[in-house]
Structure 1
Amino acid sequence: MAEILVEPIEGYALSKDKKKGTTLFSKIGVIGCGKEGQSIARIAGWHGMEVVFLELSEENIERAISNIGKELDNRIENWGLTAGEKKAIMSRINGTLDYKDLADCDFVIEAIRSESNISFRSIEERKEVFRKVEEIVREDTIIATNSTTIIITELASEMKKPDRCISLHFFVASPEAKIIEVVKGLYTSEEVYNKVYTFVKLINRDVIPVEESAGLVSVRLYVTLLNEACQVLMEGIASLPDIDKTMNVGLGMRFGPFRTADIIGLNKISKWMDNLYEEFGNSKYKPSPMIKRLVRAKRLGKQTGEGFYKYNENGDIILE
């Protein structure tokens, strides 16, 4: 009788001696789940990634989950998303109060929301967030900020592995925009940059490579446009809706400068402009008196129901 050949099953399957394979960007961490964090979590969850976001309270977690759900409901009504697909996406998104739950993430993005305490968004506090993340995650985990006016090289300067740090910018005013600005800092390795490039492709976006600069491309151009729009309005050259319509219809902007400002939040825009003025010293970045007046009055845009425009409870503009 011929000898029966017996081959170990380990040759065909995973064994204890073999490292378990993992999918690149199978799990994403998000620090802060306000408007920016919710958009990042929803987009990543939509594309099959598991997401865990860190918040300061259970109330914030519940609010974020509710808002993501409402946004997906809008996709069901207007974009053809099914209820089953929504359920699958929501099952991938979970909130936590503990940094330790970020331990097995492949990519962690700091997205502390603009309505948070101002000091918590300072460069030193952001550095502390980065250090806490680094203590928990694996050595190959990428750590990023979604900030547009904070320089990633400065954020990474006190890290044990600064080469893993990078900056990217999701477009919250137009969350379905198919581009993301990506900034490689002084320390960022080519390997990390290429992995983030892959991440952007995985979520069906194109990379806009940007050299390290406060404001990147989008914010620097937008705030100067908004300041000029305010000046045109104050001079009585045209009405607020007609200025928006000129840019919207005439030049193809999805929203005009005032509508965009209300969506982003005037408090956030004002901080952007203050940071840019401090960085470059150019008066074109100083917030218009009109913007400052609205911020002082707590008329911050859609989030408060009134900014340049007034809004109803559904977020629709109230025509006067």
Structure 2
Amino acid sequence: MAEILVEPIEQYALGQKKKGKTLFSKVGVVGCGKEGQNIARIASWHGMEVVFIELNEEKITSALDNIGKELDSRIENWGLTVSEKRAIMSRIKGSTDFNDLADCDFVIEAIRADEKTGVRSIDARKEVFRKVEAVVARDAIIATNATTIVVTELASELQFRERCASLHFFVTSPEARIIEVVKGLYTSDEVYERVCTFVKLINRDVIPVEESAGIVSVRLYVTLLNEACATLMEGVATMRDIDKTMEIGLGMRLGPFKAADVIGLDKVVRWMENLHEEFGNQKFAPSPLVRRLVRAKRLGSHVGVGFYRYDQEGNILDDETILSKKA
């Protein structure tokens, strides 16, 4: 009788001990407000496991609900299926414990502004970087989704500064197929290339940007908004016609006033103040018109009123704008 050959099959096992780990198989997000939700949804959409950190269970539930609602909109308008939504949501988990980031190979800081002061503190963001470094592996990348804050400053107190980089997801157009990627003073070439690989894996084009407060998008946008406000205050044209001119005449997806409402006027003011402090150029100082609306707590579409008024679905209500009403 012929001898039966027995081949060990352990090497083919799919158990956790044997299963290989692919690049960016798990991504961490610290802070899951509007920006963090956008990052989590996009990464999960492209097959990555995501864990996000929030302050409490209430914020975790709110973030997951908002991501679910955004996906429901994709089902209605973009052809996403219910089963695809379930698969995307199954890859997103929320936690209050930084230790749950331990096996992430890429963590992005996207913390909210302080609810009382409206400021995203540099010290708070540095603390996030320190907490992340304390739990992740040596080769894990730590990044910030920043615009006016330079990553070199955030990384300056870490043990392995070369692992840090910066990238900017666009909130005015979540499906914009570009991401600005910034290489800081300490960022290694290898880490920068890996961040660029991540951007390509989520089907975005890399816009390489030298480290500068405001990068490209914010520096140009706030200058445009200030000039639009000056044009409006001079009575050159109405707000709607200024937006219409930029949208139809110059092909912008949103005019400067509509874009400000989507971004949030309080956030726009912080951008302007940071750039004004950094460069000392008056063109970056917030327009009195923007300041007036922020003081009145008319912060944009997310609160129902900014430059325009909005219904519960986020649609501009009518031809009457907030500036035609008494504050």
CA spacing shift, 1:162–1:99, aligned 2, 3 Å: same
Is the contact made by 1:119 and 1:125 (CA closer than 8 Å) also made in structure 2? no
The residue type equivalent to 2:135 in the other structure is: I
CA spacing shift, 1:116–1:165, aligned 2, 3 Å: farther
- Could you tell me how far apart the structure 1 residues matched to 2:291 and 2:241 are? 22
Is the contact made by 1:167 and 1:185 (CA closer than 8 Å) also made in structure 2? yes
CA spacing shift, 1:241–1:188, aligned 2, 3 Å: same
Question: Aligned-pair distance for 1:5?
Answer: 6.5
Is the contact made by 2:118 and 2:266 (CA closer than 8 Å) also made in structure 1? no
- Could you tell me how far apart the structure 2 residues matched to 1:307 and 1:282 are? 26
- Count residues with an aligned counterpart: 318
Q: Deviations over 1:93-125 (max 9, x none)?
A: 111111111111111000012364548722122
CA spacing shift, 1:74–1:8, aligned 2, 3 Å: closer
Structure 1 position 171 matched with structure 2 position 176 = no
Question: Aligned-pair distance for 1:177?
Answer: 0.3
- Could you tell me how far apart the structure 2 residues matched to 1:120 and 1:194 are? 31
Structure 1 position 46 matched with structure 2 position 42 = no
- Could you tell me how far apart the structure 2 residues matched to 1:88 and 1:81 are? 11
Q: Deviations over 1:50-101 (max 9, x none)?
A: 1111111111111111111111111011101011111111111111111111
Match of 1:56 in 2: 55
Question: Aligned-pair distance for 1:7?
Answer: 5.6
Query: CA RMSD for the aligned pairs?
Result: 1.8
Mapping for residues 1-320 of structure 1, pairs under 5 Å: 8-9=8-9, 12-13=11-12, 20-114=19-113, 116-118=115-117, 121-319=120-318, 320=320
Is the contact made by 1:114 and 1:267 (CA closer than 8 Å) also made in structure 2? no
Counterpart secondary structure, 2:12: coil
Question: Aligned-pair distance for 1:294?
Answer: 0.4
- Could you tell me how far apart the structure 1 residues matched to 2:73 and 2:137 are? 37
The residue type equivalent to 1:250 in the other structure is: G
| Range 208-217 or range 188-197, more displaced | 188-197
Counterpart secondary structure, 1:109: strand
Please, which runs of 5 or more residues in structure 1 have no aligned partner? none
CA spacing shift, 1:118–1:167, aligned 2, 3 Å: farther
- Could you tell me how far apart the structure 1 residues matched to 2:162 and 2:127 are? 17
Q: Deviations over 1:133-191 (max 9, x none)?
A: 10011111110000101111111111010011000000011000000000010111111
- Could you tell me how far apart the structure 1 residues matched to 2:2 and 2:66 are? 68
| Range 91-100 or range 203-212, more displaced | 91-100
The residue type equivalent to 1:89 in the other structure is: I
Is the contact made by 2:113 and 2:119 (CA closer than 8 Å) also made in structure 1? no
Question: Aligned-pair distance for 1:312?
Answer: 0.7
CA spacing shift, 1:130–1:117, aligned 2, 3 Å: farther
Please, which runs of 5 or more residues in structure 2 have no aligned partner? 321-327
Question: Aligned-pair distance for 1:19?
Answer: 6.8
CA spacing shift, 1:161–1:229, aligned 2, 3 Å: same
The residue type equivalent to 2:311 in the other structure is: N
- Could you tell me how far apart the structure 2 residues matched to 1:177 and 1:116 are? 28
Counterpart secondary structure, 1:278: helix
- Could you tell me how far apart the structure 1 residues matched to 2:262 and 2:118 are? 23
The residue type equivalent to 1:137 in the other structure is: V
CA spacing shift, 1:120–1:26, aligned 2, 3 Å: farther
Question: Aligned-pair distance for 1:259?
Answer: 0.2
Q: Deviations over 1:290-320 (max 9, x none)?
A: 0000000000001111000000111110113
TM-score normalized by the length of structure 1: 0.95
The residue type equivalent to 2:158 in the other structure is: M
- Could you tell me how far apart the structure 1 residues matched to 2:293 and 2:226 are? 13
- Could you tell me how far apart the structure 2 residues matched to 1:52 and 1:160 are? 24
- Could you tell me how far apart the structure 2 residues matched to 1:194 and 1:230 are? 40
